[in-house]
């Protein structure tokens, strides 16, 4: 979908569909009122008869509205006056764009910036409108022989304003356009099956991105990983014939002396559980176990595309977790790059084993902050469901930054404890630590394990197990948390 931001007069705009809002009780948004005035009270008449949506998120498509230039008018319900939330705003935009597209329009002008939402700016709403519309336009047909049967829906969306767009609004639309591309990349990588999206495929994707956007990409091969002493990472890849990759991306948008933010993404391209084999039901969804990696690649696409003036490093330990005659066995003890030894009591707790070595590797960049992103624990799905990312941090300022970025990008996080009390659960009789902490607080002990490798810098861990993809009929990657990470990085350039 193509996006732009333009000033126009609602009754004079040349478009296949002009989109306006209506509140409960029949009050039209300013653009809606302009259409009403031009059409001699046509819309108000419909509202009076009860023919316009009364409910938030419902949308009615009108044809042949008198005396206006647009071919169609979509009127979307905004709920009670003064009560529109960001959630409601997003639903209204999605419904309007969907209705307009289904009604045959290929382009539309949406006057959404005037739909006021408490605690948001018009620029925030511009960003959200583009992201939501882009979200709805995504399809995944890379693996179908019958490609996109004559695409339907809106191809060009104008974020329309009645007054001159501000610089902040312009910037927001432009940024959102890049975020949408990043989200789409993360979705594609997640949705691709593990026989296509291998560690090598992730490495090739990184290389191609680096080439397109001129940032440095280094791929460490098995030999290099061995030389670095990443015994923990290597223990996970041991059971598969698919070569592991350790991907390093460096976006140098800031001043040379500025310390980078490091993003670390879990890149398990398939998680069978290893010798601690997972049950069969829904195991196909473990192709999504590289969603952390996908979100780092997606975020790089977004920030490199917008030329973000910040230094950002991306690290992706990528491999498969497979059972075989060479696989790691429960009880095996390995030495991580940090020197700490780990008793692997469950080979299915492999995410932390690849991440801990990446966290140690991150030290060489003298990071301003490190954020790891991982589909780490099923326990996080139980704790927070499919709404919030589980966030853990050793630094209150960093935690607050992520909370703020999550709120405004509507890609929200919820902070969980990282108290020392939980560390006891990781005690091993034979090594420095075990890789599991028992059933209670499974996502907390997973984070506590990682915390032992992240002592040298401000660090946050994002457990995205519940939010990275949807199951069931709507099965598919969500592209989260690309919006969160990008918003976080954008805010850092403002010196927040």
Q: CA-CA distance, 191 to 290, in Å (whole number)?
A: 10
C-beta of 17 vs 322, nearer to ligand BES: 322
Secondary structure tally for the chain: helices H, strands E: 14, 20
Contact partner, 381, from ligand BES, Zn ion, Mn ion, none, Cβ < 5-8 Å per class: ligand BES
Residue 117 sits in the site that holds ligand BES (CB under 6 A)? no
Q: With CB under 6 A as the contact rule, which of the stretches 305-313, 334-342, 353-361, 378-386 interacts with ligand BES?
A: 378-386
Residue 205 sits in the site that holds ligand BES (CB under 6 A)? no
276-315: contacts with Zn ion (CB under 5 A): 289
352 is known as an active-site residue: yes
Q: CA-CA distance, 217 to 300, in Å (whole number)?
A: 11
Q: CA-CA distance, 423 to 49, in Å (whole number)?
A: 64
Provide, rounded to whole angstroms, the least separation between the CB of residue 268 and Mn ion.
Answer: 7
Helix (H, G, I), strand (E, B) or coil at 48: helix
Q: What are the angstrom distances between the C-alpha of 185 and each of 27, 35, 179, 191, 465?
A: 40, 39, 10, 10, 18
Q: CA-CA distance, 185 to 197, in Å (whole number)?
A: 12
Residue 463 sits in the site that holds ligand BES (CB under 6 A)? no
Residue 47: DSSP 8-state: H
Q: CA-CA distance, 193 to 289, in Å (whole number)?
A: 11
Structure tokens at 185: 């990349």
User: From the centroid of its chain, how far is CA 53?
Assistant: 32
257 is known as an active-site residue: no
**Per-position DSSP letters for 90-144, written without gaps between them:** HHHHHHHHHHHHHTT-SEEEE--TTS--TT--HHHHHHHHHHHHHHHH----TT-
Residue 177 sits in the site that holds Zn ion (CB under 5 A)? no
Residue 320 sits in the site that holds Mn ion (CB under 5 A)? no
Residue with the closest Cβ to Mn ion?
Answer: 348
Q: With CB under 5 A as the contact rule, which of the stretches 6-14, 145-153, 164-172, 340-348 interacts with Mn ion?
A: 340-348
Which of 245, 287, 352, 412 is catalytic? The answer is 352
400-429: contacts with Zn ion (CB under 5 A): none
Residue 401 sits in the site that holds ligand BES (CB under 6 A)? no
Contact partner, 320, from Mn ion, ligand BES, Zn ion, none, Cβ < 5-8 Å per class: none
141-160: contacts with ligand BES (CB under 6 A): none
Residues forming the site for Zn ion (CB under 5 A): 268, 271, 289, 351
Residues forming the site for Mn ion (CB under 5 A): 271, 348, 350
Catalytic machinery residues: 278, 352
Residues forming the site for ligand BES (CB under 6 A): 271, 289, 346, 348-351, 375, 377-379, 381, 436, 442, 465
């Amino acid at each position: 979908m193509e996006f732009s931001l333009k000033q126009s007069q609602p009754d004079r705009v040349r478009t296949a569909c002009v989109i306006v809002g209506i509140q409960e009780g029949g009050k039209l948004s300013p653009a809606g009122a302009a259409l009403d005035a031009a059409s001699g009270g046509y819309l108000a008449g419909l509202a009076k008869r009860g023919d316009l949506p009364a409910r938030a998120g419902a949308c009615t498509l009108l044809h042949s509205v008198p005396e206006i230039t647009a071919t169609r008018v979509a009127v979307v319900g905004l709920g009670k006056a003064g009560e529109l939330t960001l959630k409601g705003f997003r639903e209204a935009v999605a419904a309007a764009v969907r209705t307009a597209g289904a009604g045959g329009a290929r382009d539309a002008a949406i006057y959404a910036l005037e739909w006021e939402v408490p605690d948001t700016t018009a620029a925030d709403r511009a960003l959200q409108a583009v992201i939501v519309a882009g979200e709805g336009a995504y399809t995944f047909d890379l693996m179908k022989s019958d490609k996109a049967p004559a695409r339907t829906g809106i191809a060009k969306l104008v974020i329309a304003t009645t007054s001159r767009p501000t610089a902040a609004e312009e910037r927001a639309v432009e940024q959102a356009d890049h975020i949408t591309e990043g989200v789409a990349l993360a979705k594609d990588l997640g949705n691709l099956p593990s026989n296509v999206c291998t560690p090598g495929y992730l490495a090739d994707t990184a290389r191609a991105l680096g080439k397109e956007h001129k940032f440095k990409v280094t791929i460490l091969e098995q030999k290099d990983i061995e030389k670095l002493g990443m015994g923990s990472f290597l223990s996970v890849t041991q059971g598969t014939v698919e070569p592991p990759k350790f991907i390093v991306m460096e976006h140098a948008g800031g001043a040379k002396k500025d310390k980078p933010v490091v993003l670390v993404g879990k890149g398990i391209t398939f998680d069978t559980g290893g010798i601690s084999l997972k049950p069969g039901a829904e195991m196909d969804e473990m192709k999504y176990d590289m969603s952390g990696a996908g979100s780092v690649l997606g975020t790089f696409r977004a920030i490199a595309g917008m030329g973000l003036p910040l230094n950002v490093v991306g690290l992706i330990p990528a491999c498969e977790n497979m059972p075989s005659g060479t696989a790691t066995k429960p009880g095996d003890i390995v030495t991580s790059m940090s020197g700490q030894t780990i008793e692997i009591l469950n080979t299915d707790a492999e995410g932390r084993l690849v991440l801990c070595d990446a966290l140690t590797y991150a030290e060489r960049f003298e990071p301003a902050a490190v954020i790891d992103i991982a589909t780490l624990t099923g326990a996080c799905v139980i704790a927070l469901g499919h709404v919030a990312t589980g966030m853990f941090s050793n630094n209150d300022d960093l935690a607050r930054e992520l909370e703020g970025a999550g709120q405004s990008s509507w890609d929200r996080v919820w902070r969980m404890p990282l108290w020392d009390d939980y560390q006891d659960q990781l005690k091993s009789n034979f090594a420095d630590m075990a890789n599991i902490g028992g059933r209670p607080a499974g996502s907390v002990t997973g984070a506590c394990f990682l915390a032992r490798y992240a002592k040298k810098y401000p660090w946050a861990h994002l457990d995205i197990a519940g939010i990275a993809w949807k199951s069931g009929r709507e099965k598919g990657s969500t592209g989260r948390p690309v919006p969160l990470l990008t918003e976080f990085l954008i805010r850092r350039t403002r010196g927040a």
